[in-house]
Every structure is written in C-alpha cells, then in structure tokens.
Structure 1
Amino acid sequence: MKTIERVSIVEYEEKYAAGVAKMWNESRDNWGGDAVVTTAEDVVEKEAESTNLHLFLAVVDEEVVGYCGLSEYKEDTGALYIPLLNVHPGYQGLKIGKKLLLQAIDQTVEYGWPRLDLFTWPGNTKAVPLYKKCGFFWEDRDDATHLMNFMPQVLQIEALRPFFNKHDWYSTSVRPIEIKPDGRKEKGFTFYEYRWEAGDEFVRVQFERTGRGISLIETNDWRVEMEVPDFKLLENKDYPVIYRVENFTSEGLEVSLSGNSSSLVNEDLNEETMVESEWSTSSSVQVQVPDQEPSPWKTHPVIGADITINGRRLPLRTGVFPLQAGKVDVRTVQKYWRPRQKGTLYLDVESRMEEKTVWTIKCPHQKVVEWSQSSVEVEVEGKGRATIPVSVELLMNGFLNEEVEVDGRTEDGRAFSFRTKIALAFPGFGGKFGGDTDTEWYGYNGPYYVCIEKRNHMVSVGSVRSKEDPLLLMTPKLGHPFSEEFSKKMATSVEYIELAEAFVVKTSLESEAFPGIVLNSYYKIYGDGLVEIHHELINNGGNDYKNLHLLQPVFPKYKALALPEKDGVVIGTEALIPYTEYLRDKDLSERWLYTTNRAGDTFGIAWPKEATGRKDDWRFAFEYPLDQLPSGQKICRGPIQIGVNVTTHWSDWREMVLGEVDPLPEKPVFEVVPKEGFVSKTGDEVTHSFRSLLTPHVYGTLTIENDANSYRKEVKREDGVTAIDVPIVHERPGLTTLTGTFRSEGRNADFMTCQLVQGDQKVNVSQAEDRWTVDNGVLTFTASSSYFPGIYSLCHQGREFLHHQYPEAGPRSWWNPWGGGLRYVMDGVSPFSMMKEETKVESVSKEDHNGNHWTGICMATTFHEHEKMKGVTLKQYALTLPEVPVVAVYAEIEQGAPRTFAAEKIALEAFLKPDENLSSCYARIPTEGVFHTYYAGVEEYELESGPSVVIGSDGKKDHLMMIHSQTRKQAEMYMNQDVFLVESVHEWSASSQKAAAVRPTFFVIGEHEEPWKQHPFHRISFKGI
C-alpha cells in the first residue's frame, strides 16, 4: 500500500509525545539545522502549556511524521492560525503537508471562522506552492512573510455551496501558483483572486487585502462586486462607492443591499430591487481618521454591505486607510540633548492632497523646547513630502507631545486646516517622564526606558546609551489554558506615576477569556537602570477563580550567558549565542540570569520566589501560580527585575538579587573535565570528558594528547550524547598538561587542560627554630614568624621565585619594613604594626571539597596591639600536594572583636624575583593592545592583571602562573627598579564572633608561557571556607 494511503490524521495525546520528540529530532534540516534536542518530557510539558485549540498529527504505522497546530491568531481578529507545521524529511513529497493543512481548514470552517493565517520565511520555497494550492495568499510586506487563507469564508457562503458540494475545491482550483508575493495592485488596493473551474461551471472570488473581505464574486449565473475610488481616503470628504450586480440567467434575481461598514465610515445604505440583467447603485461615504493609524498587522476599517441574492447573503468588504489632509512628524538627528542646549528639529511633512498646497505650521508652546519661530511655512507638491529644519533650545528633558495646527491653501485659493500630533522624547540624566506616539507608550528615567507597543503590549526595556538591543518582554498570558487574547488588545488605560525614587508606567488590560479579570502591570524605572515589573490581578466579575496562572514571557539574547546551577555558574565563553531551547531550565538553582555583550552592555534578569523561571517554547518565561482569586479581590505579584547595565559582573547582580550568599565557581559551557576530579594519584585511570552544559548533542571527533600519547574518539549525532569520554591512565606525578582538538561538521575547537597527579612521596613539614619549611618533593616553601608574617621563599627544583631579604626585614623602595615574599595584608595595618603582633606557625592538613588532602602550614596572627583590629585573628594558609608543583594560598579571618566589620579590604601581596637579576624578570599579560610582556627592575609600571598572570625570567623554561580568585575585587601589578609586586584585593565582612574567608589563589609552576583561558583551579575550595 502506498504511504499516502497509510497516513492517518489524529489529534495529539500524551501517548504520542515520544513520537513527536523523535520527529522533531529528525527534522532539524527543515529548520536551518538547529541542534535542539527534544525529549518526550519536553513535548508533554510544551503541549500542556500550549495555546493550541487543536494539534493534528500525521501518523504512518504508529510513527509520527507530521505536525500541525491550530490556534487563535494573536495579531488580528477574525482568524485562526497555524503556529507550526512540519513534515518529517523522510516523508516529504507524499502530500502529508496537504492533508494536515486541509484538516486545519476543515476545522476552521467547522468553528465558523472566516480566515486561517500562518507565517513562514521567504526562503521556504518548498512549502510556498503547497500553501498557495491550499488557498493561502502571500502578503507583500517588508516586515513579515505572512500568508492568509480565505477558503474558510468561501466555503461558508451559502450561495456557493451548490458548486462546492459537487466539486472538490482543491482539485478544481485554477489559480496560478508562483513563488512570490501575491496580489493585483490597483488604486492602492491589493486584490487576491480565487478561481475554480469544473467543466462549464466556474466560481471566481476576489478578496481585498487590508479589509480581509470579499470585493467580487462571480459564478455562471451572476456577478456581484463593489468599487471604492481609492484605498487612501481623506476624512470628511464625500466618496462614491459603487455596488454592482449582473444577472447572466433568464430569470430575475431578488437583490437587497444593506450597509455594513466600520464605525469610522458614515454611510446610509438600504435598497431592494429585482435585477433582470444588470444593476448598480452608488453610495456616498465619508470616513473618519481613527485614533491609531491602521496597522498592516490588523484588519483596516472597511466599507461594505451585505447583499442578498434570492435570500442568500453575500458579504462585501473593502479595507480603506482614512487620512487627514496631511501629516507632520518631528525628528532629530542629534542623539543626546541636555537642558539649555541648542539644536535643530526637523518637521517632516506629507501631503495627502492631489494638488500643490502651501502650509503654515504653528509651533506649539509647551515646557520642553523653545522654538526659534512661532510658525513655519512650506510649499508641498501634491501627495509630496518636505522637511523643514527648525532651530530650538531644549528647556528640560521630557516628552514633546503636542497637537499641531496646520492652516493651508490650494493654488486656486481654497483654504483648509487640520490638527495633527507630534511626539518626540528628549531623555537625559535625571529626566523622569512619560508620553506616547501613534504606536507606543514610553516611560523614561534618565537614559533608561520602557517602551510598550500599543497593538500587542510587547514591552522593550533598554537604555538610549546602550549598544545592545533592548530586552523584550512578550505579551503576558492568563491561564490555564493560556490565552493569547492580550496580544491583540490595546491597554484600556495607561498612567504615568512619578515617584521620588523612580518613574512608573501602569497599564491595564481587561480579559475576555477570564471575564471580570483586569491585569494591571507596573513598570518601575529607577535612575540606575533597574526596572521592576509588578503584576496586579483584580477580579471585578462575579465568578471566583481557582488555579489561575499568569505567564510573563521574555526574549533575551543569551550573549556570554551566566546561568546558575547547583555546583557553579555556567558561563558562555564562546561566540555561540544559545537559543532558549538549549538551556537546561530544570537545573537552574537560583532565580536569575545574566548576559553581557562584547561592548560591555549587560542585562540582569531576576524573578521573585513565588514565580518559576522556565522555558516557554523559544522564549523564557516567569510563571505565577495564583491559586484562588475570589470575586472582588486582588492579587499582587512581583517584582520581576531587569537590570540594564546595573552591574558589570554576574556575581554583583546575584548578590544584589539574593543578598549575601556563598560564592559559586564558573563553569564554561564547553570544556574538558575529569569525571573523577581534578586531583588524582599516579596509576589512576581518569575519564576526561569533553562536555557541553547545553542540551544539544555533541558529535564529532575528539583527540587528546598527553605525554606523547594520543587518544582519539569519534561520536555520531545519532549516539545522542552531550559528553565524549576518553579514559587516560596518568603514570607520572606532577602537573600533567593535556591538549587536544574537537572537530565536527560545523565547529572546530582547540583546548588545553591539566591534571594534578599526586606522587607517592609524602609532603614533609619541618621546623628549624622559627623557620618552617614545606617540601612536597618538587618544590619547597618557607616561613619565619620572627622575620615577617608570610611565606618568604618558594623554590622549585632549587630555583627561587619569591623576592625577600631574609633573615632581616628592612626598608626597600616605598616600604619599611619590607619582608617581600607572599602574604595577606589587612587594610589599615602597616608592616610595622603587623610585626608588633605575635604570629604562630603550625603544620596543617586541609581537605578540599573533592576529598583530597592538602598539606602545608598556617600562619596565625592575633591582633592585640592594633586599635582597629584588636581581637581579630588572621590565618594565612599555604598548602600543596605530593610531587605537584602547585601551592594554594588562602586566608581566614576569625572576628573576635566586639564590633562589626563591613566591606573591609584584604590584599594578597606577592613579591616576585624568579632570577637573581630583577631586570631579567617579566610578567606576561595578554591584552588587546600591542604590548604583552613587561620587565621589572627597569622603570616604574602600574599594570592591570587579568584573571591570571605568567611570571618568568629570560633563559628559563619554567614559569610561575598566579591564578587569582574569581571573588577578587581587583588585581594589579607594580614594577620599579627595586620590586616586582603582584597584588589581588578582596573584600570581607564579619560580625563579632563570626568568621570570613578569602578563596584560594594558586601558584602553578611549569612550562606554560601564556595564561590559561580555561582551567579547573577555580573549582578547588577547602572545607570550612
């Protein structure tokens, strides 16, 4: 049996979820080759939250091979909509798409809707012929590839049923099919025409694009049509509209005609007659200009009538664009304005009249700008444009939102006048104001703004000074099931509220899907870029609502995304901008997101505890469960927080949203990680895994090089994995470097990572008088409490890396006393004061969070003399592993003083000298500039350090890399003829009898010549900190 005969169209049920997921995963090439991985659970969740009225599936032998949703169209009234149509690539060309579309059309007819719409993309040339054959017309627009199908209306016309009861409309259609936008253009109108032929019988129906209505119907027996003189009609002017009926039969036709136009059209039409051959009537109409200019997204005002022929109704409708005699817009090419600044505004004028005219435009008096002249005069060609520069002075930051009076005269001396609105915002620091244009409402506080589209309540949040596009909040939805009703509703009211600390825009939307419910949204804009969104639901109806939900979708661009998970923050370090479908939303451990673009513009997003952050198809969304909303009651929820350049780092945004929290390490989206941990022992097998923290599968060839050994593994897409594992046995102790490549059809990657392999030799801690030495077999470090409270020596295979003057501290450069070496410095505590206090050294062993034991020393200094720090104990730890050239340094502060310390600074100082000659010692710091290496001992430099810095000396292979803690406030270097200092500054706070800690800094010795971009050191932390 042919496949097409085995296809059945069924309604979606949960039992088909796995089949739907399989179909999507095998249909990527239909959608640009995206890497989204869909599971049965994803399908169940998505369809449970869907706004579809129906979901039709094409099934062949229990395999799902086609998908077609049917919902109410959210952009316009009077239409249903196909949000998604797909046919499995292995089953294309078998007319499965046709069966799904015809099912959707039949269902639309059954519901009594007149139209079915869908969107596609211009390059979808395979599907366009199918769409057109099924009755869709491709609308000629620049902003969207929108198709409209009027077959549901045609099939509901009683007078045409005799033809369609006898003949299949699909097979008898003789409409030409071309892969381009449709329509015959005439007098500003665009007409779409269907035609069906069956033997000697035919039917012809013509639709007008903007009114979405019929302008002509013709059969073998009769023809009816209407004729409007022009698409664009001037207000308050009489226009003749002609209705015509032709009778092709020998019997008379009983015809009646009654006007049925939009409320903006003034027309008195009501006639009855008997038509023997041909009859026409002319109706005089006037139009009024609507408050909002007609949008290409919505049905325009219509002129029309209901004609009945022998008792059968035929609705005729033609859309029009009501106009004033002219229009004036105000614009500026100047980006930033400040009060008392002079500049130029441009009045752009457009005439809608046929003849040349002269206009006098009166410049309105108001508080925002001062015009250099009270009026301007301009000559405008018929249906022409002109622009007039006008000098102004800005009086205050605000919204110029005024009616302009225009007086005009034609060449023959006829006078006319009209009023039109001009609107232009002048944002600036400290300016708090709101206003509206024809299409949007705005609220500003300084450079930060909220923009609300009138037609669909989509909200943009941004800054006029940002190089990034604004963040988009999509139309809110009420459910369950969720309704798209607000996407085609304009707010019933908008209020602007100025507060001392912020500016608020309040909108109100009235629900029809949930009668009596009013949704008030408050957009609170602070002057520092924070925007808070509160939602208030009021039940003004008589029904009590239970299990009501509010969904607020948002559409961020996930550039350099920071995403919190339980064991760290996923960081987008790649150029890849993930899609929402790529996120593991169920792994979110905290209620925030953060994005950064290459220009440094940031968006922080956060939601309240009572909301759930989750995926909503291709959007992200915040869902509020509202439980009960009795009649006469209200519920307030929020705030959702949007930070526009509020913080420069995700950790600051996290702290702002959550308060004081433990720090989290960063995890790159893609990396090679050891499954058994970053620290192992000689002879252990370690599984090194190239993994993605996004949902798409990883497939390609992974190659890893280690100690002259090469390991290669290939994975195919159908293997369905997000990690590629390579087991490696590390035989030698020390710092093992692994390099490798990943190659796939679409991406190439090079990477480097390392493994700390412990040897069999134990770490030895010895004491000789007050000198404590730690020896791990490959390096030693030494401290002496009587010399200076810190590590003064760090040697690797006999080579010193630190600069000191043991056994006696003394003056050097700007310091006195100077002990050099490596130590933590409390802010406000001089070296003299530090040496007055007693420092005790002891041997310690500390366990990291992976269970590895690090051995070293702790230097504890309790302050007894220093007035500010009296009662505080500073503990400095220096730890290492057997035969591993790595030292971990961190600090703990035990706060025994009867006071509170807040936002105190503590700095880690490292004085370095990896060669006897200081001028041979250098720091390597990659930047975007031309210099990358700086030598000490030559001249004075202050340098900014990156996340890590490589220290070396001429002629030596081994380098020391200092890896700063991610929680540092800043990291810098200082060089002069006497010293080479690397410093990282940290912040701590603690109340009395509490403790604080500084996360570890690592000193790594090896042959690395450049700082590492990726490494696992930041994931090492020690228990108790």
Structure 2
Amino acid sequence: MNGVTFRLVTGFEEKPPLDVKLAKMYSLPLEYSGELLLDVENCLRKRVKARLRLVPGAGVVVKPTSLELELKPREAVTLPVEVGVSRGVKVGSIMAVYDVEVNGSSCRGKPVKLNFTCPALGEVAWFLDEERDRIVVDRGDAWLHILLRGGTVFVYDGDGEPLAYMRCESIGSPFWPNELERARFNFTVERIEGGLRVRLSAPVEKMPGLTFIKELRVWASNPAISIVYEVENSSSIVHEGRLRVNAWPASWRVERLVVPLREGLLKAGVRLGEFPGARGDLPLDPSRYSEGWMCYEIRGGFACGTAWSLREVREVDSSYCRLPSPTYSFRVEPCSRAVIGKLILYAGRGSWRSLRELYWREVERGVRPPAIGAEVNAVEVLTDPMPLIIEGSTSARARLLVRRSRSKEFRGTLLLRGREVGVKPSRLEVECRESGVFECEVEFQVAKLEPRAYSIDYTLNSNYGVVRGSIPLIVLGTGGDVLVNHEDDTWIVDNGVLAFRVAAGFAGTLYSARLGEVEQLESPYPKPGQLVWINPWYGGVRVVSRVSRDSLWREEWKAEPVNVEEWRGVKVYTDVRDERNSWIKGLRIEQYYLTRPGSNVIALYTVLENRSRRALEPELFLTAFVKPGGVRAHSMAIRRGGGVEIWRNWGYDMPYMISREQAAVYNDVAAASLVAGRSGVEVIAMSFGQEGGCHLAVSVAPDDLLRPGEKFGLSSYLVLTRKLEEALRYHPLTRLALQGPCSSL
C-alpha cells in the first residue's frame, strides 16, 4: 500500500468443549481432608453429555473419581468433591480428563491440571500453571499471579479479591508501544529463607544485546514484595535509557491516599476520575516528597503502596489512581550488568504506617522512623497565625489562607459564619492558578472581652468538592500584667484572672490555682498525703517518675521566675541524683508554669536535658490533680479517632483513657482540659473512683534515646473552663508549641 509492505497474520483460538476449573483459589491446611468445589462449564451452544474422570496427583486422594453430566447449551454447574492430602504435600493436583458426546458424536478434551496449595506456617508455596502460562504463588495471606507473557504481576487477598497489579514495565523513551508487554519472559524460581525468589528476563529488541531482568522476592505472610530491576548488556555499545514502572491498586476498593509531601503528610479521600487526577496533579518531581513512599488505604483493613529511594528516581507518577510509579534512568557499559533501581510493593493487611516503617527499615536503613510532619489536606482553610489568638482586645485582623496540596487549578466560593463571632468579609471568591495559596485579610470581632474559645464555621464549594470545617479563635487573655512574687518557699503568679502558687520545697509542685476565689486544684499542701494507692501524694501539677509510685519527690527542687516568649511565670528544676532514680541519674528536669495576662490557661513547658555521660531513656509524666469549679470531677472525655469519647464514674471502677491530643475532666459546674502542644503525645484522663475523682496527666518521653548533652522539650496546656464543650474547643492549642530559648527575669 503506497509502496509499504504489510504482513498480515491470521489465526484461530482453540476452544475446548468444556471449561473445568476449581471454583476458587484454594490454600488448604496441612493434611487437609474435606470438600473442594469444581466448576464445569459447557462452552458449546449445544446440549452435551460428558464423562469426567478425576485423577489425583501424588499424595492426594479424591472422591468420586468419575462423574457423568448432562449440560444444556452454555450451562455451568458446580460440583463438590472430597479430597484428602497427605503430610508433606505443599502443592496438590488433580488431573481432569473428560469425554464429550454431542449429537451422537464423541470427542476427548485436553486434560486439565487443577492445582491447590497446602503451605506450612512460615512457608511460601508455588506452582507453574501451564494452562494459563503463569506462576502462582501462595504466600499465606495473599496470592500472586505472575504472567510469563508480559511479566504482569497480580496480587489478590486471601479471598481472591484483587489488591494490586503491576503491568509490564516499559523501557524508553518512547515508552509506547511497549514491546515488553508482548515478550514471553524466561524465569527461574528459587527458595530463599522464609520465601521465594522469582527471576524474570526478556530481551529488549529496540536495544540489541540488552536484556531486561526483574527479580521479585516474596516472603510468607508478609505484605512486602521486594523488586530489583537490572539490565544486562551483551553488545559492544553503551546503552542508555529510562525504565518506567506501571502499577495500580484495585481502585474500586480504595478509600484514602496518604502522601508524605514536603509541606506535610497529605491524607485525602480518593474520588475515582477526579483525585488523584491527571498527570502532575500530585508532584512528579521526587524532591517535592519528604519520604519515598505513597500508600492507598483499602476497605477491610488493607493497604497498597510502593516505596522507593528518592535518590534513584527521576519522577513519580500517581495520575488517575495509579500506584505511585517511579521512572528510573540507566546507563550500562558493553558486556556488563547494572542495577537500575529497587522498589517495594506493599499489598496486604496494614496501613500507611506499616509501609512507612518498611520504607525506613529497608530503603533508608534507619533504626526507626523520625517523627512525621504535620498533616495537611488536599485543600485547607487556615489563618496566619493558627490558631488565631486575640489578647486584650475584642477584635483582630488576620491573613486568611486557602492552601492546596494539588497542582489542579482551584476555584470556588468560601462562606464564613461565626458562632458569636463577627466576620468581615463573610463571602469570598477563591481562585488558585500558578500559586498554591490564596490569601486575603479578614477581620474577626467578639462581643465580650473574656477568656474563651470560639469557632468560625466555613463551607468551601469548589471544583475540589465541598469542604466544611471550622477556624479556631481563642481569646487567650483580657490584657494587663502578670505579677510574679515570692513569699517564703512559695512563688505566686497572678495574671488578674487566675492566680497560682508554686513551692519548690514541696517537690516542685504547683499546688494551688484560683479563678477568682475558687480553687481549681486538689493538693494536701503543705504536707504530702495519700490518694487511694498513691503515697506520698502531692497533688496539684508536677512532674513524676510514675503516676502511682513516684520517686522524684526525693530530689532537691529549686525555683526561679522566667519568661518564655509572651508567657511569664516560674521555673522549677532539679538534677537527678538520688540512687532510687538511678535509671535517669544525671537528668536535668525543668518544669515551667506560665500564663498570660487575664488568661484561664496555664502553659506547662517541660524540658529534659541529659547531663550524664550515658544515653538515657526517660519516661516521665506531668500530672494534674484538678478540682474544676472547686468540686471533684466525676466524668472524663478524650479526643480519639476524630471524635470525642466520654465516660462517667458510676461506681468503684478506676479506668483511664488515653488520647494523642487532648483529655478533659468535668463535673456539673466546670471542666478542666489538658492539651498537648503537638499531636501524637499521650494525654491521659484517669479515674480514682467516686471518692478520688477524675484527673489528668501527659506523657513526657522523647521519641528516642536522649544522648549525652541532648535536650527534649514538650509544651502542654491546662485550661480551666465552665463547660466541657468549651474545654474541647481549646483543642487547637496542639498547634501552639512553645519554643526556647528561655530567659530568667
């Protein structure tokens, strides 16, 4: 045609009269004796009579061994058969042989081998399915099907439902058409400790002499699949190119995507066809990621993702709900072999945290992951600063930001509505094109100047969907001064609304806090007492080595007035020397009790410094024995999983509830809340029965060993309010972490 010669090829697909197969993929217990289901389908458009013989493989018994069937046109039936498997059989088989009679004529179909697995605990079983030209791997919790034509890998959960699949990698550029999709791969399978090594290889025709090699390592009941890509050059020339990975999760099962961006940890719901969207919706540039992994969370407690080295890849594509698929560059000299890159495919039970731990252990070779950054959403409405603080005034102006974490152009309408808060303007047209942030100035006005927390509700209607949320506003204080005085062994801090007292000689305890004339703390000051099993008990607010059996009261505590940023108050400190605290001997403990003018908040800033010559692992607690409104609390609440859990003391139970953000205790007249200055810190509400009331604590423990000379700081906030609902609105203080340095007055 027009001087071009085309080669035309035709062929026929041989269709057997019957399709005989197991009803599902069977992974059986060792020495199994029981039922298997067999599917038999008439592939003809005519009625047939069939005689089916079942020939068991070595170590397998099957009953019955012969079946006679009469099937209507295109009819399928399921037949139960009994099997018994002998000890030591890892892969069992049954050969199905059948004769078919159609319109008085008979024929014999091609024998079909039916395989099932019986892996021992901690082992991986596999077999070659010659009928479908694939390797089948049973790792115990999931199945892998590795197609030898094209090298595609399918991963199914234990019930046979798809989790992920990796289409054949492509070498380019250009990457399409992909010749490797049509290639039949050579393979070897080798047992390794606890698993299998599967090695696939195929020649790359457009690069003569180049062979592409893919090695997969699979371990028993382990969601991680290690993949190493190599190329071997048997030619006399240098070959250069790029390798693109092509992988997808079972997209109809995914719920959420988690991505570690430089700006923070993105957690966003997946909307098929919209998010993740077109190529570049999420960054292609590896430098835009803080860590080399992404993870889809899948219904039913599954996770699916990939992990890679940020130093090896050129780009990462997650468009249209792909598994994050990296592109690698390679250069291989003549008569040599080169490793292109390494990839971990995670598909199985778990969450994004499971994949992240795997990334740090296997890719970065770290002992443990560092603390993760702040969480971000696909689109967020924020203020600068966040939370918005008003102090000494009924109004404030602040920058309002609409920030996106995607590249897709953003446009929409933002509606603001305050609860007892005036907002101007209350309606904004928002658009983000080149920049990822829209910003403007907004004025907020409260009716009355008093310490209180508010929220401004917003609705953002946009091409990203409808987003609803709230902007926190905290009137932190009414203004004025904070006075710090010293009387005998007691330091008195008075901000005009709240006055508290600290005694260094009473184990460094903040033993009294009064709102007006009402005492808000419970303490036996001036002498220690006993509360249930705690003896000696100092009450109030103080650092302890254990909630129940403390030994830090044995140390010598000192005190002095301090300023920390805009906060003012008292610092108590000690150098641990007592032999009964030998596990933290040499640790300097500094506890700051701080407030601001006209505030109902006490900032609690704890600093641990290792002044010894050995690494220490301090796990301390900051306890707060409170009496909200002058009455012992009978109920407690915590924030957990995006909601609030509440418990009331009706009897002699003494439970405790742990949050990673905020805990509160309350009664019929008032509430007290303890808020950690960053998310992920254990905050505890604990009950001491009807007689002992409910109280609060926060864990003070570094994420890792504290080496000689290192410091660890943690800020938390004790908030005194009239109601539980108001106390919970102080949750945004988790964003208000105090930072050093500290200066003495």
Which one of the candidate residues 529, 538, 558 is aligned to 1:840?
558
Q: What pairs with 1:511-910 in structure 2 (closer than 5 Å)?
A: 511-526=204-219, 527-546=221-240, 548-556=241-249, 559-572=255-268, 578-581=275-278, 582-586=281-285, 587-597=288-298, 599-603=300-304, 605-608=306-309, 609-615=311-317, 617-618=319-320, 619=322, 620-626=324-330, 628-643=331-346, 644-646=348-350, 649=353, 652=357, 656=361, 658=364, 659=366, 660=368, 661-678=370-387, 682=393, 685-696=397-408, 697-705=410-418, 707-711=420-424, 712-715=426-429, 723=438, 725-728=440-443, 734-744=451-461, 747=466, 749-755=468-474, 760-826=479-545, 831=549, 833-847=551-565, 856-865=570-579, 866-901=581-616, 905-910=619-624
Q: What pairs with 1:106-117 in structure 2 (closer than 5 Å)?
A: none
Aligned AA for 1:714?
L
- How far apart, CA to CA, are the structure 2 residues paired with 1:885 and 1:111? 90
CA contact (8 A) 2:57 2:95 kept: no
- How far apart, CA to CA, are the structure 1 residues paired with 2:497 and 2:160? 52
Once the two structures are TM-superposed, the CA of residue 374 in structure 1 deviates from its matched residue by 7.1
Structure-2 residue corresponding to 1:1017: 734
- How far apart, CA to CA, are the structure 2 residues paired with 1:346 and 1:752? 58
Measured against aligned partners, the alpha-carbon deviations of 1:931-970 in whole angstroms (never above 9, x if no partner) come to 9532347431424334444535344366535347423368
- How far apart, CA to CA, are the structure 2 residues paired with 1:535 and 1:831? 56
CA contact (8 A) 1:356 1:381 kept: yes
Measured against aligned partners, the alpha-carbon deviations of 1:73-127 in whole angstroms (never above 9, x if no partner) come to xxxxxxxxxxxxxxxxxxxxxxxxxxxxxxxxxxxx989698xxxxxxxxxxxxx
- How far apart, CA to CA, are the structure 1 residues paired with 2:169 and 2:269? 32
- How far apart, CA to CA, are the structure 1 residues paired with 2:537 and 2:271? 46
CA contact (8 A) 2:295 2:352 kept: no
Once the two structures are TM-superposed, the CA of residue 701 in structure 1 deviates from its matched residue by 3.1
Structure-2 residue corresponding to 1:488: 181
Q: Quickly say closer, same or farther: Cα 1:511–1:928, change in 2 above 3 A.
A: closer
CA contact (8 A) 2:677 2:738 kept: no
Structure-1 residue corresponding to 2:69: 379
**Are 2:45 and 1:331 aligned?**
no
Q: Which runs of 5+ in 2 are unaligned?
A: none
Structure-1 residue corresponding to 2:193: 500
Q: SS at 2:735's partner residue? A: helix
Aligned AA for 1:622?
P
- How far apart, CA to CA, are the structure 2 residues paired with 1:451 and 1:776? 69
Once the two structures are TM-superposed, the CA of residue 487 in structure 1 deviates from its matched residue by 5.8
Once the two structures are TM-superposed, the CA of residue 550 in structure 1 deviates from its matched residue by 1.7
- How far apart, CA to CA, are the structure 2 residues paired with 1:778 and 1:428? 69
**Are 2:652 and 1:939 aligned?**
yes
- How far apart, CA to CA, are the structure 1 residues paired with 2:407 and 2:3? 39
Q: Quickly say closer, same or farther: Cα 1:372–1:709, change in 2 above 3 A.
A: same
Measured against aligned partners, the alpha-carbon deviations of 1:483-530 in whole angstroms (never above 9, x if no partner) come to 442563244123333221443332223222323222222222344422
TM-score, structure 2 as length reference: 0.81
* Number of corresponding residues: 704
- How far apart, CA to CA, are the structure 1 residues paired with 2:680 and 2:730? 17
Once the two structures are TM-superposed, the CA of residue 824 in structure 1 deviates from its matched residue by 4.0
Aligned-pair identity in percent equals 17
- How far apart, CA to CA, are the structure 2 residues paired with 1:886 and 1:113? 85
Once the two structures are TM-superposed, the CA of residue 598 in structure 1 deviates from its matched residue by 6.2
- How far apart, CA to CA, are the structure 2 residues paired with 1:1013 and 1:389? 63
Once the two structures are TM-superposed, the CA of residue 539 in structure 1 deviates from its matched residue by 1.5
CA contact (8 A) 1:491 1:507 kept: no
Aligned AA for 1:519?
F
Q: Quickly say closer, same or farther: Cα 1:517–1:1003, change in 2 above 3 A.
A: farther
CA contact (8 A) 1:961 1:1005 kept: no
Aligned AA for 1:543?
I
- How far apart, CA to CA, are the structure 2 residues paired with 1:834 and 1:892? 15
Once the two structures are TM-superposed, the CA of residue 923 in structure 1 deviates from its matched residue by 1.6
Q: Quickly say closer, same or farther: Cα 1:972–1:435, change in 2 above 3 A.
A: farther
Q: Which runs of 5+ in 1 are unaligned?
A: 1-108, 115-152, 154-212, 214-259, 262-301, 303-319
Larger radius of gyration: 1
Q: SS at 1:363's partner residue? A: strand
**Are 2:442 and 1:442 aligned?**
no
Structure-2 residue corresponding to 1:310: none
Q: What pairs with 1:932-1011 in structure 2 (closer than 5 Å)?
A: 932-936=645-649, 938-949=651-662, 951-956=664-669, 960=673, 962-963=675-676, 965-968=678-681, 971=684, 973-977=686-690, 978-985=692-699, 986=701, 988-990=703-705, 992-997=707-712, 999-1006=714-721, 1009=725, 1011=728
Measured against aligned partners, the alpha-carbon deviations of 1:590-647 in whole angstroms (never above 9, x if no partner) come to 2222443565433453211322452365343212222x21122112244322344455
Measured against aligned partners, the alpha-carbon deviations of 1:153-187 in whole angstroms (never above 9, x if no partner) come to 9xxxxxxxxxxxxxxxxxxxxxxxxxxxxxxxxxx
Structure-2 residue corresponding to 1:217: none
- How far apart, CA to CA, are the structure 1 residues paired with 2:651 and 2:403? 45
Measured against aligned partners, the alpha-carbon deviations of 1:384-443 in whole angstroms (never above 9, x if no partner) come to 544321122455798747472515374969674632122345677523122354265333
Once the two structures are TM-superposed, the CA of residue 345 in structure 1 deviates from its matched residue by 0.7
Structure-1 residue corresponding to 2:56: 364
Structure-2 residue corresponding to 1:205: none
Q: SS at 2:175's partner residue? A: coil
- Per chain length, whose mean CA-contact separation is higher, i.e. which structure has more relative contact order (CA < 8 Å, sep 6+)? 2
Measured against aligned partners, the alpha-carbon deviations of 1:835-892 in whole angstroms (never above 9, x if no partner) come to 2222233333335xxxx66765243342332232222233334444444433443433
CA contact (8 A) 2:615 2:707 kept: yes
Q: Quickly say closer, same or farther: Cα 1:447–1:710, change in 2 above 3 A.
A: same
TM-score, structure 1 as length reference: 0.61
Structure-2 residue corresponding to 1:93: none
Q: SS at 2:552's partner residue? A: helix
Structure-2 residue corresponding to 1:298: none
Once the two structures are TM-superposed, the CA of residue 718 in structure 1 deviates from its matched residue by 8.8
Once the two structures are TM-superposed, the CA of residue 544 in structure 1 deviates from its matched residue by 0.8
Q: Quickly say closer, same or farther: Cα 1:490–1:740, change in 2 above 3 A.
A: same
- How far apart, CA to CA, are the structure 2 residues paired with 1:930 and 1:691? 25
